[in-house]
Amino acid sequence: MKKHLRTLAPVCAGFFFAAMGAVWMSAQITNQIHAHINHSFMIGDKTLPPGNYTFRIEGNSDQGVMTAQNEHGDNVAQFNVRQSIDNHRPKHSELVFKRYGNTEFLSKVYEGGSRNGVAVTETSKEESRLVSAGQHGMEHTEEEQ
């Protein structure tokens, strides 16, 4: 009997962790997020002007690529993301920016009603330069329109 338990326990633990990983990976942004951003901001090394934007996860990206479109429907940025868990459940979709002086960088995106979102994985050269110069980013949040 002990021999069977020694064999069965690791198998059961493996199934448990695989199932938990599937739940973790299925947490995702499923809808487009529309936002009016009243300041210029950077995604990676690209600076975008103030305006109306739509953010969406690429359908075939396995949740790893997000696209930003301007109000005319043009893709203006495509960037890599990873899963992020917020410490609260926002009522409305939120964009989180890091501000260094007058420069803002998109940092995270959360869908309304869910703690699960995405964080931008690409650090721009400018943000790396500011951090190397000793500046500390201040996070602030903007809700969808």
Is 8 a domain residue?
Answer: no
Is 9 a domain residue?
Answer: no
Residue in the block written with tokens 């479109």: 69
Decide which of 142 and 8 is more confident.
142
Domain range for 62 is 29-143
User: For the segment 29-38, what is each residue's pLDDT rounded down to a tens digit?
Assistant: 889 999 999 9
Mean pLDDT over each residue of the chain, to the nearest integer:
83
Is 67 a domain residue?
Answer: yes
Is 64 a domain residue?
Answer: yes
Is 14 a domain residue?
Answer: no
User: For the segment 85-134, what is each residue's pLDDT rounded down to a tens digit?
Assistant: 998 888 899 999 999 999 999 999 999 999 999 999 988 999 999 999 99
The Cα–Cα gap between 83 and 107 comes to 12
How many distinct structural domains can be found in the chain? 1
The Cα–Cα gap between 64 and 46 comes to 19
For position 143, what pLDDT does the model report? 75
Query: C-alpha angle with apex 54: 49 to 140, nearest 5 degrees?
Result: 65
Is 90 a domain residue?
Answer: yes
Is 47 a domain residue?
Answer: yes
Is 122 a domain residue?
Answer: yes
Which pTM value belongs to this model? 0.76
